[in-house]
A = this chain, B = another copy of it.
Amino acid sequence: MFKINEYFEGKVASIAFQTSNLPATVGVMAIGSYKFGTTQKEVMTVVSGDLTVKLEGDSEWVNYQAGESFTITANSSFEVKVMVETAYLCTYE
């Protein structure tokens, strides 16, 4: 019923669904470092754990805890360091 996605040899897994107004995914990232590209604007919210993130064009790494969000513009990318298995919500606009 739901589309399950796996990336980086399964170190990132997500479930795609539809919120009341936006397509979204919930997923989990294993400990590690990853780089993601975007085709749409994405809003990432940490659900459990934390993510240290560097957006394309930025020089700073910023840490986001559970409940905190960050936005990635369309056709861009972001790098992320994961120090504990982290769950996230991503909405696509």
Contacts and interface: CB of A to CB of B under 8 A. Distances in A.
A27 B26 CA distance: 7
Interface residues of A, number: 28
Chain A interface SS verdict (over half): strand
Contacts of A20: 49, 84
7 smallest beta-carbon distances between A and B, as pairs: A1-B10, A26-B87, A17-B85, A17-B28, A2-B13, A26-B26, A15-B28
30 contacts: A1-B6, A1-B10, A1-B11, A1-B13, A1-B30, A2-B13, A2-B28, A4-B13, A13-B15, A15-B26, A15-B27, A15-B28, A17-B48, A17-B85, A17-B87, A19-B48, A19-B49, A19-B84, A19-B85, A20-B84, A24-B48, A24-B87, A26-B26, A26-B27, A26-B28, A26-B47, A26-B87, A47-B89, A48-B89, A87-B89
